Chain A
Amino acid sequence: GAVVSQHPSWVICKSGTSVKIECRSLDFQATTMFWYRQFPKQSLMLMATSNEGSKATYEQGVEKDKFLINHASLTLSTLTVTSAHPEDSSFYICSANGLAGATDTQYFGPGTRLTVL
């Protein structure tokens, strides 16, 4: 099946720093990628939809200036958590649809566990 990678798999940082997370589709081109966040014992919550070459669409309540998304190519989307604070500590997961958009399946990356001290 399709493979999506994320880097880094985990990161610990100090409060106030910015953290960049990369999401790559390894064996297919992804016109659309999604960024989710999951807090312990809660469901995945969609943060934003990232479209190649255009601005991301953010879900209600997600600050676009805090969570910067760049989808510069058909295989890479990045999420930058700016000025991270302890409440941003969470499991961040990306997923990707295929180029034709015909697939009904989203393939998930392995996730990035962010801990902000």
Chain B
Amino acid sequence: RKEVEQDPGPFNVPEGATVAFNCTYSNSASQSFFWYRQDCRKEPKLLMSVYSSGNEDGRFTAQLNRASQYISLLIRDSKLSDSATYLCVVKANDYKLSFGAGTTVTVRA
């Protein structure tokens, strides 16, 4: 079983729509959680950390459910520039990061 699993999508949404997707992780000892964004043929870039109480950064909202071991990301008022692959990333008690394969989002005009 993969350490981090994501729905690959693609999620194809119109501008202004809301899109949400989840990921699940297998290691119950995981301590830190992140969403990264990766554009085509580029390196991943940190979008936001995910905190237990849930957190928001502008149009992006992240939630963590430790009991069910899943993390979610919601994007409101989608922009064309939000088109990317979103990587769910989990860290256990060392510096190693475990990456999901990514969820592809395409925002159309």
Interface residues of chain A, those whose CB is within 8 Å of chain B, are: 32, 34, 41-46, 49, 91, 93, 95, 97, 101, 104-106, 108-111, 113
Contact = CB atoms under 8 A, between A and B. Distances in A.
Interface of B is mostly: strand
Interface of B: 4, 8, 32, 41-46, 49, 87, 91, 95-102
B87 A106 contact: no
A110 B43 contact: yes
B100 A32 contact: no
A101 B91 CA distance: 14
B99 A49 contact: no
15 contacts: A34-B95, A34-B97, A43-B99, A43-B100, A43-B102, A44-B87, A46-B96, A91-B41, A93-B44, A104-B49, A104-B91, A105-B46, A108-B44, A109-B43, A111-B43
A40 B43 CA distance: 13
